Amino acid sequence: KNEVEQSPQNLTAQEGEFITINCSYSVGISALHWLQQHPGGGIVSLFMLSSGKKKHGRLIATINIQEKHSSLHITASHPRDSAVYICAVGVWHNNNDMRFGAGTRLTVKP
């Protein structure tokens, strides 16, 4: 079982819909990262959080440390939001390590 699980694997939405992507992890973490990857490979960091909630424009990320769960929400989705969204965690142990989810492929149709 992967230490970082994302759901759903694939998501198709109509423009304007509210979108939620979930991430669960099973290890102790220092921080959780939400990343966006467009076709071609480039990755952009959207959020880094270790508690609570962060908001940037139409994007909101939340984390529940006790439940080891995070969500990424997109309000008023737009076709340009189509990308792969990846959850990653910095792992607490005696060695710097980062573990990634497999990603959620989001397609927003006009």
Partner 1 sequence: ETGVTQSPTHLIKTRGQQVTLRCSSQSGHNTVSWYQQALGQGPQFIFQYYREEENGRGNFPPRFSGLQFPNYSSELNVNALELDDSALYLCASSSGTDYFSYEQYFGPGTRLTVT
In this structure, what token pair is assigned to residue 40? Answer: 């071609």
Residue from 54, 58, 73, 99 touching partner 1 (CB under 8 A): that is: 99
- Among positions 36-75, residues that touch partner 1 (CB under 8 A) are 40-45, 48, 50
88 binds partner 1 (CB under 8 A): yes
27 binds partner 1 (CB under 8 A): no
Q: 56 Cβ partners below 8 Å, 6+ apart?
A: 46, 47
Q: 7 Cβ partners below 8 Å, 6+ apart?
A: 21, 22, 24, 104
Residue from 21, 81, 103, 106 touching partner 1 (CB under 8 A): that is: 103
From CA 110, how far away is CA 105, in angstroms rounded? 16
Q: Which stretch binds partner 1 (CB under 8 A): 15-23, 35-43, 56-64, 67-75?
A: 35-43
Residue from 21, 86, 106, 108 touching partner 1 (CB under 8 A): that is: 86
Angle of CA points 82, 84, 89, to nearest 5°: 140
